[in-house]
Structure formats: C-alpha cells, structure tokens
Amino acid sequence: MVLPITLTAEATEPWWNMYAAMDNLNHQLTLGAKFPILQTEDVISMMQLADAGNTISSTLDNSEHHVDIKRLMAISGATYIIEANITKANNGYQLTYNLHQENHQQQQIIEAATVDSLMTLTAADINQQINPNNTAPPSTYHSNFDNLQLIKGLGFMQSGDWTFAQQQLTQTIAAEPENLLARRLLAGLQYQHTQYTLAKATLTSAIEHATAINNERELAKLRLLLAQTALEMTEIEPALALLSVAKTHAAKVNEWLYLGYIAQLAGVINQRLGRNEEARLQFKQAIKYHRMMGYPIGQSQSLNLLVELEIVEHNYPQAYRDIARSFEQISGLGLTEMEAATLFLMAKVEDKR
C-alpha cells in the first residue's frame, strides 16, 4: 500500500499533487501476483476506515494528521506500507520513503532531476526491495488523480456532500472525457441516489471508453457497478452475465480485491434465484480472494453472507463455525457497526444451535 506522498510547496509542479504522485508510484510498482497492490481509491477508503478524520478535505486544508501505520495495516491487511515525501534538493528533487512492515521499517533516499524520473527510480528501488525476482517493466500510465476537481469530488463524497461531489465530477468529465475514474464515481453517486437509468447510461459510455483503450482493471470495476445497477432494475440474469465478464477482466490484472467483491455479489444473486449451492461456492470464492489480499473486513463480510445462507438451510453447526471465524477477523479493529452486525448474526445462530 502506497500512502499519499507529502510534497513541500516548492516541490509541487502545476499538475502534480500528493494523490497523483501516490497513484503514479503505485502503477510503476511491478511486484507480481504474490504482492497485490491496493489501488489509490481503495487506499483512500481504507485510510478513512482506519481513522474517520483522515479525509481528503482535511488534507486539502493542510491539516496535520498522523497516520497510525499499525492500525492501517490491521484494517487493510497490507504487509507493506510505503510512506514518502518529496522535497527540492541539489537543483532537482529528493524522495525519502519509509517501507513499513509489521515489526520493521527501513528508509531510503532517492534523488533525480525531475519528478517523473524520481518516481521511476523510487518504484525500481521498491520493486528490488520487495520482489527482486519480478522483472516485468511498468506499463505506460497517466494518472486520473492529477485533476483537482476529481480530488475535491472525492472529498465531497467522503463528507456526504452529494450535490457538490456531482458538480465536481461532472466538470472533471467535461474537461477530461477519458477520465474513467470520474465517470465511475459519478455513476456510483447516481446508483446511491437510485438514479439507476442515469447510472446505467454513464457506465455504458464509460465501458465503451475503457474497451477502446483495453483498460482491464477499470472494465472489471465498471461492469461490477453495472451489475449492481442491473440488479436494482430487476435485470437479474444480465447482472450475472456482467459479473462473469467482470471476473475475466479482474483475473487478467490480478485484481483480487474486486474478484472478492464480484464473487460476493454473484453469491447474493444466486441465492436470490434459489441456486444455493452456486451461492455457497461464490461466497467461498470471495473469502479466498479476500484472504489472498489479507483483507479481514472482506473475509468477514463474505463469511457473514455464507452464514446467512447456512441459516436458511438450517446448517447451524457450520453457520456457528463460520460466524466465529468472521468475528475473529474483525475483533479488536474498532469497527463498531461491523462487530455489532456480526454479533447479532452470531446470536441468531446460537439460538438455533
């Protein structure tokens, strides 16, 4: 996991910001399937989940905010967390990064003439530190996060200011029609406000753009959201078909987190259709993918879905084993609502055991 990169005022280029820096470094890491990398938007979500005060708005306001690395590791399941800052140095730039592990951290300093070359050298150094056996070159990448309106839109989404968020995202798309992240975030807002026809149109257009540039990662996420939208429009079989295609996209880029989400939704739909064995298989697949990411929250959510299925089929001993595993995943993380929901489910199982 790469955290937003701290930049001193004199080190900032007009198009650059801490999220674009983070995103560019993220996409130059080539660690292989053994070391899946959390994408920038997911890191932002995890940071807020670990600490509600750690928001984009507080960052843009230059609020001092300490990141609790240990808690963030526990919430996200990340094995490595990269914390970095960029300053001016010797007519060029200097990046200092700390590579955090559970009980260890090391610091490296990289210097280069430009920020672009600095990120390339830093990524190469981190690749060598974590997985020297993987020699795949990074692909060409243009960050969606170099647009301040998009960053502000995300900030408004975090604070629940939906109208302002929609304005910022709409303006981003008008200026950058190819910004797939902005299109997907806008569709997500439309979905949350039950504007399913609008969301479907936004996603269909975005999928056309993503297909034209063969962006497998975005295609997986876009089709997952389109499947959720189709489900709300009672287009159940089309939703399953979309998930099948989304799974193919996600598998091509080792996107384990979204493979987990895709399997969760496929399980829910299959259970709704009365295909309980297929639902059980999908929930177990979701647990597997979230385990591969080391993501305790995803594992707990998937286990809870599996428990609800076992209760329907009166498999109470198995349900109890699964709910105990689920609670173990999130116990002590301070996630009050999740713990309460899991304990409520546990009580239902205990009453029947």
Give 46-93 pLDDT, tens digit per residue: 998 888 777 777 666 655 557 889 999 999 999 999 999 998 888 889
Look at 30 and 185; give whichever has higher pLDDT.
Answer: 185
The per-residue pLDDT for range 287-339, each reduced to its tens digit, is 999 999 999 999 999 999 999 999 999 999 999 999 999 999 999 898 999 99
Strand order in the sheet with 104-112: 6-7, 81-89, 92-101, 104-112
pLDDT band at 137 (very low <50, low <70, confident <90, very high): confident
Average confidence (pLDDT) over 103-128: 91
pLDDT band per the 50, 70, 90 thresholds, residue 12: low
- How far CA 256 is from CA of 25, 98, 217, 249, 294, in Å, comes to 20, 25, 11, 11, 10
The pLDDT tens digits of the residues spanning 231-279 come to: 999 999 999 999 999 999 999 999 999 999 999 999 999 999 999 999 9
Mean pLDDT of the chain: 91
Please enumerate, as own/partner, the contacts of 325-331 that have beta carbons within 8 Å and a separation of 24 or more.
Answer: 325/299, 326/299, 326/300, 327/300, 329/296, 329/297, 329/299, 329/300, 329/303, 330/296, 330/297, 330/300
Tell me the percentage of the chain whose pLDDT exceeds 70.
94
pLDDT the model gives residue 305: 98
Give the confidence band of 15 by pLDDT, cuts at 50, 70, 90: very low
Greatest mean pLDDT among 13-22, 31-40, 323-332: 323-332
Provide the whole-model pTM: 0.92
Written as one string, the DSSP assignment of 125-160 is HHHHHH-TT--PPPPP---GGG-HHHHHHHHHHHHT
pLDDT for 61: 61
